[in-house]
Amino acid sequence: MHTLNHLEEALWQKEQALIGYIRYMREAQDSQNEDMAALFADLAKAEEKHIAVIRDQVGKYSEYQHLNTYQQVNQHNSQSSTYEPVAHPTELS
Q: Mean per-residue pLDDT for 54-69?
A: 76
What is the spatial distance between Cα 46 and Cα 37, in angstroms, rounded to a whole number? 14
Contact by Cβ (8 Å): 17, 68: no
Neighbours of 47 (CB within 10 A): 20
The CA distances from residue 16 to 7, 21, 44, in Å, are: 14, 9, 11
Q: pLDDT tens digits, residue range 13-50? A: 999 999 999 999 999 999 999 999 999 999 999 999 99
Better pLDDT: 62 or 66: 62
Number of H helices, E strands in the chain: 2, 0
Q: pLDDT tens digits, residue range 63-78? A: 766 655 555 565 555 5
pTM: 0.64
Instruction: Please tell me the predicted confidence (pLDDT) of residue 58.
Output: 87
